[in-house]
Chain A
Amino acid sequence: MSSETGTSTSGDEAWEPNPNPIPKPPEDQLAALALSEADSHANGVAHGSAEGNNHQEIENEEEEVRANSVAPGLAEVEEASEGLPRGGIGGGIVWARTNSELEVDGPSSPSSSGYAGERGSSSASSGAGSGVDEILEVRNDEIADGFSDSQTPWVPGKRHVDEDDASISWRKRKKHFFILSHSGKPIYSRYGDEHKLAGFSATLQAIISFVENGGDHVKLVRAGKHQVIFLVKGPIYLVCISCTEEPYESLRVQLELIYGQMLLILTKSVNRCFEKNPKFDMTPLLGGTDIVFSSLIHSFSWNPATFLHAYTCLPLAYATRQAAGAILHDVADSGVLFTILMCKHKVISLVGAQKASLHPDDMLLLSNFVMASESFRQVDTYLMLLTTSSDAFYHLKDCRIRIESVLLKSSVLSEIQRSTVDGGMRVEELPLDPLPRSGSFSPHLGQHTVPTDSPDRFREPYIGVGGPAGLWHFIYRSIFLDQYVSSEFSPPISSPRQQKRLYRAYQKLYASMHDKGIGPHKTQFRRDENYVLLCWVTQDFELYAAFDPLADKALAIKTCNRVCQWVKDVENEIFLLGASPFSW
């Protein structure tokens, strides 16, 4: 999707680089995250209070808090910055660059001025003549060019700050997200200036508390095509107002994720701030994090992980992933809770301490947080080290250096780059018959495999209209592994708009299959003017497949069986086996 990569078919297509910075304290350019073993629930990464030196600061000194809240300094996220994949396979990985350069750049970087400035000024509107704005413009142009097909490209960061609830344009936005405090103070709004939305925010608070006074809790209000979804999390209220056709359950999960993202940035100690002072103003604490939220919200329209509650892996030869895992394992015994090597939103390898669990939603929030930050914008591959120990910063740095040096010597990074160029499953390549398990991989999955004109591969006779039987796309989710694999988008699902529509259709199908009261159902067939959708939910896996709306039912069913077989045949390459974050 991104215009810079002409090759365009990697699974990362939908991801846009973030031209907008996440302001950070200059002395701490390495984005750092805290994670506690005890508190990491489905709700997001919760921060243990153990040593809690940061909390003190949160309560005392706002200016300090900003520095520390964004980067509580407990863990380290390392980047493996990689040249854009234009040809140069092999030498593009520059590891050593990062630290010193960034430290030098730091103080003068526009991101830090964004940080120090007023809330909202970090967005594109600041216009302070810093280099960032120019970069932003250039990028936007590039992106816009890439989107010849009518959809407005996603621009990271907050937009339309000049609007408020009196603006017609604001009222017509398709999807609003609000975070407010239980006293009705605005904390975050996707569109418009929070300060100008104080009155509106108070109205939302009034609705929630009015219903609560009646001994009930409001969940949803419907009005024509609009839905208003409410989520109460202690002193934090979250509201979504949407006229997208997403089901209530999906929108509610999105609010949960936004709350999780907020906790990931601020830790649960915000609750204590509200205990002390119900009228506590939280906005300054989140100063400059607009971009993290906007990138999360953007992922609600392209990243299946947001509703599947599973993560996805970069396709790699089994041996390569094993090698990566072994390298990460090197530091596993030294107090590091999790070591995750990722390529954009896809996992390369993951090593966790015994009994530690990391929910796929947490991984989503972590990678979103990392990728939203300026320093990682141009980076594909990065390393996350998580620990609960608050004074392990230098230790983590050592770990990072150790892993980095081994990785650079191995072939892992070049394999990764290869995979980002042409990895992934393509529906046109769906094998006609189940493969004998003899190690003949898909040419696009493994690195060193049979040539593409392999005789036992189904050669697509109607290139450009999807796979056999009108198969357009599929997502396969392994229940035990908490992982999913999604086929690459290929025509006719080629434009961002079509991809988003398919994403929404899957989302609806998922919600319909997993109804809280009566689900999960076992099978669903659904035909409308856009697709034939088929869904299987079994004990082991879930399959979601999209076909041409005129597809034959019997053939579609057969094709789904073949997809399942195909996935099983190549599971070594598309999944991270034996490393489920739950069972490590």
Chain B
Amino acid sequence: MGLSSATTTAATPEGVQLCIFDLRRGQNEGQELDKIIFFFPADLPFSAQFSVIGLSEGLIAFTRIFSPEAACDAIEAERHSHVFYEAEPDIWMVMVVEKNKEFEPIWRSDALRKVLKEVHSLFVMFHGSIRALLDKDPGGGLTRSHLYHFIMDYLGDFLVGKKLLLPSFRDSLKERGTVQMLTVGREAAIEVQSLVRVLESCAGNMPCHSLVLFQDLLVSTTLSPDDTVNLFAYAVLRLTPRALSSGVSSWSYLRKGATSHVSSSSSFACPGSIPEQLHGSLGDKSSQVVRPLQPDKWSKGKDGFLVSDIWGADTSTGTSATPTVFLHQTEERMYLCAHQHKSLTLIFLLPVSSVLKGDQGVSAVKQQVLENVSLKLLKVEEKLSKGWGGENAYHVSGYRYLLADGDRNVSRASPPGKVTTLTKGSLLALSKVREEVDLEKSRAKSDNAGHEKELEISIRAKNNAWVIARVTRGKELYMVLEKANETLLYASDAVEKFSNRYRTFPSMLQLVAHYMNFRFAFLGSLVITMR
């Protein structure tokens, strides 16, 4: 993390700006600077920063004249798209991206908004809400410092070379903010269930939540859907075996720029590049700032537990301090422990309030886990590995698809390696269709909450590909068929066949019957409702 490298790459990646501002701050003239609590690129002249924030603020106020309940979502200009997200009341995140010269619809604003949403959710999971931080820190210095490191670390994952590769039309068959599930057989499911039970028993009387991942796929969760999404995202970014050996390319959407991030992000997110003149107090406090997304900070200990010095060291024992996270649902602070055996990652959360003696108490539970769970872990890992079909396990030949359940935040898609075979024309058409569906969904949502949008669109594009979207009861299916016959009936047939194929996936329906919590039993039911 040398300063020297920071200066060479200090030139910010072209065409992307991201800012966070608080409408409650800087109300008086001359104090406008106070509004800005994050700006990327930080070295942009203030006048330019003000220009972005001024326009955003102006349009938020303007659109409220007509739409008081939902202020500005997006600005489309000839050369830029501005995407708005009100992360917390009066705290706005705005991302500005440049369009290409052909004015192709390369950006889908919902996809970009999900990036904003993800980074905010992750931030809140570790640091609590921005508003709460600002209330404790009226000057805002500490909050800015937290946000700066957190978001820069997060953006680092998108960095490829000197360019930020944000989700574009090429990522239309991915859904950020969702969990990808491993399909398991009945026996394996029972094994997993018993593993989770044993794990819970290790915590004694304490309520204990857990999350089990195989590779970058979720096997089991006892958390609420929102918390599952956040923790799953963090795990895939930093904890799973792939994340730990971050040089390896990943097929998960969450690790888009992973191939190059080791080398590049270190300079990109270097603390030395914080313009200290920007926010005076920031420099002194940066040492206290915890950076949960700092790359390459996690490693696997001898006992299989993952350790990191991100949260500092416990002075009494000399071991690393246990990280804590806020649960979205209960707003409770939890200790986060992760144990890994080969491809299997076991994450469990213990309430801070229930653990006596802090880290020592956690260590005691960890010890219990090692003693009671290890054997089961071996067995489950073996079983899942045997049944695991590899990266292309969920490929359906001839199809490029995305299935997403917006209510449960679960998705499954064609492997990225397969999606790259699609032509640009098909992907652009798909992106456009998704944009249309996004609009329809948001309208249906604001019209009446009870009524879910039902929609089916099949388009034969200029390049003869079929681009298909189906929305049924909150579930969405997107599909591209490139080597398809020209008749519409052929295309509908192909969709039917796809649904059938999904039904015959090993144990897909047993999954429905046996899945613990029955929470993520959506895929089977999706297939049924789509038919």
Contact = CB atoms under 8 A, between A and B. Distances in A.
Interface of A: 165, 171, 203, 206-207, 210-211, 214-226, 228, 241, 243, 245, 248, 512, 515-529, 553-554, 557
Nearest to B78: A217
A228 to B, nearest CB: 7
Contacts of A243: 66-67
Main DSSP-derived SS at the A contact region: mixed
Given A171-B65, A211-B55, A554-B489, A218 B77 contact: yes
Contact of A203 (B62, B73, B443): B62
B464 interface: yes
Given A218-B75, A219-B76, A207 B59 contact: yes
B63 A245 contact: no
Given A165-B65, A245-B443, A216 B76 contact: no
A223 B67 contact: yes
Contacts of A214: 51, 55
A207 B58 contact: yes
Interface string B446-471: 10000001111111111010000000
Contacts of A517: 102-105, 428, 432
B459 A524 contact: yes
B492 interface: yes
B458 A216 contact: no
Contact of A524 (B102, B439, B458): B458
A441 B138 CA distance: 81
Nearest to A211: B77
Contact of B454 (A206, A211, A228, A528): A528
A553 B103 contact: no
Interface residues of B, number: 54
Contacts of B501: none
Contact of B429 (A171, A518, A523): A518
Contacts, number: 147
A225 B460 contact: no
Contact of A225 (B79, B433, B446, B456): B446
A206 B57 CA distance: 13
Nearest to A519: B462
A225 B443 contact: yes
A221 B80 contact: no
Given A210-B54, A224-B446, A524-B457, 17 more contacts: A203-B62, A219-B78, A221-B74, A222-B73, A222-B75, A223-B70, A223-B73, A224-B67, A224-B69, A225-B70, A517-B105, A517-B428, A518-B428, A518-B462, A521-B462, A524-B459, A557-B488
Nearest to B467: A521
A211 B103 CA distance: 18
B160 interface: no
5 contacts: A216-B78, A216-B80, A223-B71, A512-B459, A528-B440
A525 B462 contact: no
Contacts of A171: 65-66
Interface of B: 51, 54-55, 58-59, 62-67, 69-80, 102-105, 109, 425, 428-429, 432-433, 436, 439-440, 442-443, 446, 453-462, 464, 487-489, 492
A519 B429 CA distance: 8
A517 B429 CA distance: 9
9 A-B pairs with the lowest CB-CB distances in the bound complex, closest first? A224-B70, A223-B63, A523-B460, A220-B76, A527-B456, A217-B78, A216-B77, A226-B67, A224-B67
B485 to A, nearest CB: 12
Contacts of A515: 105, 432
Contacts of B66: 171, 223, 226, 241, 243
B432 A210 contact: no
Given A207-B62, A218-B77, A521 B71 contact: no
A524 B460 contact: yes
B457 A525 contact: yes
B104 A518 contact: yes
A427 to B, nearest CB: 20
A518 B76 contact: no
Given A221-B63, A243-B67, A522 B75 contact: no
B156 to A, nearest CB: 28
Contact of B67 (A220, A225, A520, A528): A225
Contacts of A527: 454-456
A222 B72 contact: yes
Contacts of B63: 221, 223-224, 226, 228
